Amino acid sequence: MPFTHQLPDWPRLTWDAAALAAPLAAVRHAQGRHLGTMSALGFGAGDEAELESLTVELVRSWAIEGEALDASEVRSSIARRLGLDVGGLDAASMSKPSRRVDGLVQMLLDVTHACFQPLTSERLFGWHAALFPTGRSGIESITVGNWRTADSDPMQVLSGAIGRETVHFEAPAAARVADEMSCFLRWFEARGRVGSPQLDAPDLDPVLRAGLAHLWFITVHPFDDGNGRIARAIADLALARADGTPQRFYSLSAQIEAERRDYYDQLERAQRGTCDVTEWLAWFIGCLGRAIERAGGTLERVRRASRVWSAVAKLELNDRQRQLIERLLGDFEGNLTSSKAAKLTKCSPDTALRDLKQLVAWGVLERGEAGGRSTAYRLVVLEEG
């Protein structure tokens, strides 16, 4: 069965508009309702919600590719670049992230906060250079900040043992990439026609444009590596335009990671046999709807955090205590002990224990029943709200 880019109709993608009408209307309604709720949070809480969503988006987009980023580093870098006061700690006082993470965050903010700027090849090259600042993917040297070359042909997605691989996808030859991307970018900015009544429609819904752009870009596979991450970034840019705001309050990548196997199965099916992409768009719309629904948890965490910081506002907390509260409100896993507190705040165990005892005395933390070094502490202001 041929790949879609090998068909004579490529890239004139088609879909059943009637089949997608109801789920598309539902997800657009959910977008509007969620954005309305977020805009009512107020300035500080809204910033906190965006900070969490952006952190999750970057960390989870890399996790889809099996790579781990330090969430606290990412969060710190985003807060610095946005000039946010996070949990009472101004951005200048937070731990300094690595240059690599800073570069990735700079790319993310260019995707979102500059979403209304035109998408160009030079902009994509900049994103790609941010993903691979050393010019390497793992130990392999790759072409960075430019389209892949014939040296990478055939560009294939494989699985299985060496010698018995299964080819899940083979991208267009490198010689086609420049023309393919020129066509894609003109379409994305509605500056060129593809020859398809549906794709060329001036009123093409921006959510459909996001789903189509994701699939189209990843099918062309224009870079040596990082195509999935950049495809998701392009979809995020299109969704930011759909929302009418550069602020992001939900994470598509987090939902894609949760449905990772489905994601790859849907991509593989959409890239073979036909230019009809109804099934892919139905899945993309559904995934977006589930991402928005999932973001309700972000809203509740932001509200709880707001209550906590309001409750401790009159206490003379030091920076270490603020860091501990911030971590307990965020991605902290397991029990908080004095030894963990010492590692988190980079102080001696005795200093950490004094900080914890003071927080207990203020009623911010509650001490568990176990004694000695295994004593655990938890936030009680969260429950008291």
DSSP 54-81: HHHHHHHHHHHTT----HHHHHHHHHHH
Secondary structure class of 145 (helix, strand, coil): coil
Active-site hit among 5, 34, 214, 221? 221
For 313-383, list the strands marked E by DSSP.
365-367, 377-379
Q: How far is CA 44 from the centre of its chain?
A: 21
Which residues does the annotation place in the binding site?
225-232, 263-264
pLDDT category of residue 104 using cuts at 50, 70 and 90: very high
Which residues does the annotation place in the binding site for ATP?
225-232, 263-264
**CB 320, CB 351: distance < 8 Å:** yes
Question: Alpha-carbon dihedral of residues 241, 243, 248, 253, nearest 10 degrees?
Answer: -80
Mean pLDDT of the chain: 88
Q: Is the pLDDT of residue 381 over 80?
A: no
> Higher pLDDT residue, 159 or 54?
54
Provide the residue type at 127 as one letter. W
pLDDT reported for residue 299? 65
Rounded Cα distance between 352 and 304, Å, is 25
Global pTM reads: 0.80
Burial class from Cβ neighbours inside 10 Å (0-12, 13-18, 19+) for residue 126 reads middle
Lowest mean pLDDT among 66-75, 102-111, 283-292, 368-377: 368-377
Instruction: Return the residue matching tokens 């300035």.
Output: 43
Q: How many CB atoms lie within 10 A of CB 217?
A: 25
Structure tokens that stand for 273 in this block: 């046999």
Cis previous bond, 154, omega within 30: yes
Secondary structure class of 298 (helix, strand, coil): helix
Rounded Cα distance between 158 and 63, Å, is 19
Q: Which domains does the chain have, with CATH numbers?
A: 4-303 (1.10.3290.10), 316-384 (1.10.10.10)
Lowest mean pLDDT among 2-11, 67-76, 106-115, 266-275: 67-76
Counted residue by residue, the chain has a size of: 385
Question: Which has the closest alpha carbon to 82: 121, 118, 43?
Answer: 43
Between β-strands 377-379 and 85-86, what pairing exists: parallel, antiparallel or unpaired? unpaired
Is 214 annotated in the active site?
no
Give the largest Cα separation in the chain, rounded: 73
Rounded Cα distance between 114 and 116, Å, is 6
Question: Which has the closest alpha carbon to 82: 58, 107, 47?
Answer: 47
Structure tokens that stand for 104 in this block: 């990735």
For the chain, list the strands marked E by DSSP.
85-86, 89-90, 136-137, 140-141, 156-159, 166-170, 365-367, 377-379
Between β-strands 365-367 and 166-170, what pairing exists: parallel, antiparallel or unpaired? unpaired
Beta bridge partners of residue 170, listed in sequence order: 156
pLDDT category of residue 385 using cuts at 50, 70 and 90: very low
pLDDT category of residue 261 using cuts at 50, 70 and 90: very high
Structure tokens that stand for 246 in this block: 């550069």
Residues 240-247, mean pLDDT to the nearest whole number: 88
